Amino acid sequence: MISRVWLSATVLFTVLICISLLSLCVLQPFLWFLINRQTRLTPGTKLYSEWLKPSVPVLTQFYFFNLTNPIEFQSGHKPHVQQLGPYTYREKRFKLNITHSNGTITYKEMKWYYFDQNLSNGMVNDSITSVNLVFISIALRINSMPWFLKRIIELIESRFHEYLFITKTVNELLWGYNDELLTYLSRHGFNMSTVTHIGLFINKNNTLSDYVTINDGLHNNKMIGQITRYHGNTTLSYWNSSTANMINGSDGTFFHSFLTKYDKPYVFASDICRSLQFYTESIDKLHNLPVLKLTPMLDTFKSPKYYEKNRGFCLNWPNCYEDGVLDMSSCQPGAPIVVSQPHFLNANKTYQDAVDGMYPTNEMNTVIYVEPNTGSIIKAQKKIQINILVKNDTTFKQLANISTTILPIVFINESVQLNDTLIEQLTNALIQQPFIVQTILVCIITLSIISLGSLISIHFYQNRQHTTYMHFIDSHQSNDVIPQNSLEVNTQQQTISNDLQENPIV
- Read off the pTM: 0.81
Q: Which of 309-313, 371-375, 443-447, 448-452 has the highest mean pLDDT?
A: 309-313
- Burial label, 479 (beta-carbon count in 10 A; 0-12, 13-18, 19+): exposed
Strands 104-115 and 127-131 come out as unpaired
CB 132 within 8 A of CB 173: no
* CA-based nearest residue to 110, from 124, 98, 99: 98
Give mean pLDDT, residues 339-360.
97
CB 131 within 8 A of CB 389: no
What does the alpha-carbon distance between residue 475 and residue 463 come to, in Å, rounded to a whole number?
Answer: 19
The answer to whether residue 422 scores a pLDDT higher than 90 is: no
DSSP SS3 for 61: strand
What does the alpha-carbon distance between residue 488 and residue 485 come to, in Å, rounded to a whole number?
Answer: 5
For residue 363, give the DSSP letter.
Answer: G
The answer to whether residue 29 scores a pLDDT higher than 70 is: no
| pLDDT-based confidence at residue 111 (cuts at 50, 70, 90) | very high
CB 370 within 8 A of CB 259: yes
Specify the amino acid at residue 6.
W
CB count within 10 Å of CB 159 equals 11
Is residue 482 a part of any domain in this protein?
no
Which DSSP string corresponds to 67-81? ES-HHHHHTTPPPBE
Give mean pLDDT, residues 333-339.
88
What does the alpha-carbon distance between residue 96 and residue 92 come to, in Å, rounded to a whole number?
Answer: 13
| pLDDT-based confidence at residue 5 (cuts at 50, 70, 90) | low
| pLDDT-based confidence at residue 23 (cuts at 50, 70, 90) | low
According to DSSP, the residues that pair with 129 across neighbouring strands are 167
Is residue 62 a part of any domain in this protein?
yes
CA diameter of the chain: 185
Q: Which of 51-55, 126-130, 430-434 has the highest mean pLDDT?
A: 126-130
The answer to whether residue 455 scores a pLDDT higher than 80 is: no
| pLDDT-based confidence at residue 420 (cuts at 50, 70, 90) | confident
What does the alpha-carbon distance between residue 103 and residue 21 come to, in Å, rounded to a whole number?
Answer: 39
Question: Residue 279: left (phi > 0), alpha (psi -120 to 50), or beta?
Answer: beta
* pLDDT value, residue 140: 81
Helix-then-strand count for the chain, H and E? 11, 18
Residues 49-101: pLDDT tens digits?
Answer: 889 999 898 999 999 999 999 999 999 999 999 999 999 999 999 999 999 99
Residues 217-237: pLDDT tens digits?
Answer: 888 889 999 999 999 999 999
* pLDDT value, residue 500: 44
Q: 170 is in which domain, residue-wise?
A: 30-418
Measured in whole angstroms, the distance separating CA 479 from the mean position of its chain's CA atoms is 89
Number of domains in the chain: 1
- Angle of CA points 396, 397, 403, to nearest 5°: 85
* Residue 10 vs residue 277, higher pLDDT: 277
Q: Name every residue whose Cβ is closer than 8 Å to that of residue 500 and which is 6 or more positions away in sequence.
A: none
* CA-based nearest residue to 368, from 262, 263, 281: 281
Indicate the Cα dihedral angle 316, 321, 324, 330, nearest 10°: -30
Specify the amino acid at residue 345.
L
The answer to whether residue 114 scores a pLDDT higher than 90 is: yes
Is residue 403 a part of any domain in this protein?
yes
* pLDDT value, residue 181: 77
Give mean pLDDT, residues 192-209.
80
* pLDDT value, residue 397: 85
The answer to whether residue 282 scores a pLDDT higher than 60 is: yes
What does the alpha-carbon distance between residue 326 and residue 361 come to, in Å, rounded to a whole number?
Answer: 19
* pLDDT value, residue 460: 63
Dihedral sign from CA coordinates of 77, 82, 83, 84 = negative
The answer to whether residue 281 scores a pLDDT higher than 90 is: yes
Is residue 398 a part of any domain in this protein?
yes
SS (H, E, C) 270-281: HHHCEEEEEEEE
Is residue 115 a part of any domain in this protein?
yes
Is residue 384 a part of any domain in this protein?
yes
| pLDDT-based confidence at residue 291 (cuts at 50, 70, 90) | very high
Strands 212-215 and 104-115 come out as antiparallel
Give mean pLDDT, residues 358-379.
94
Is residue 288 a part of any domain in this protein?
yes
Comparing 78-82, 103-107, 145-149, 430-434, the range with the smallest average pLDDT is 430-434
According to DSSP, the residues that pair with 277 across neighbouring strands are 266
* pLDDT value, residue 450: 66
* Residue 487 vs residue 71, higher pLDDT: 71
* Residue 159 vs residue 438, higher pLDDT: 159
Dihedral sign from CA coordinates of 357, 358, 361, 362 = positive
The answer to whether residue 31 scores a pLDDT higher than 80 is: no
Give mean pLDDT, residues 284-305.
93
* CA-based nearest residue to 384, from 358, 407, 414: 414
The answer to whether residue 24 scores a pLDDT higher than 70 is: no
Is residue 470 a part of any domain in this protein?
no
DSSP SS3 for 234: coil
* Residue 494 vs residue 407, higher pLDDT: 407
* pLDDT value, residue 238: 95
* Residue 480 vs residue 230, higher pLDDT: 230
- Angle of CA points 483, 488, 490, to nearest 5°: 95
| pLDDT-based confidence at residue 489 (cuts at 50, 70, 90) | very low
Q: Name every residue whose Cβ is closer than 8 Å to that of residue 464 and which is 6 or more positions away in sequence.
A: none
* Residue 175 vs residue 163, higher pLDDT: 175
CA distances from 398 to 73, 183, 253 (A): 11, 22, 44
What does the alpha-carbon distance between residue 65 and residue 343 come to, in Å, rounded to a whole number?
Answer: 10
SS (H, E, C) 163-224: CCEEEEEHHHHHHCEECHHHHHHHHCCCCCCCCCEECCCCCCCCEECCCEEEECCCCCHHHC
Dihedral sign from CA coordinates of 341, 246, 381, 208 = positive
The answer to whether residue 487 scores a pLDDT higher than 50 is: no
The answer to whether residue 435 scores a pLDDT higher than 60 is: no
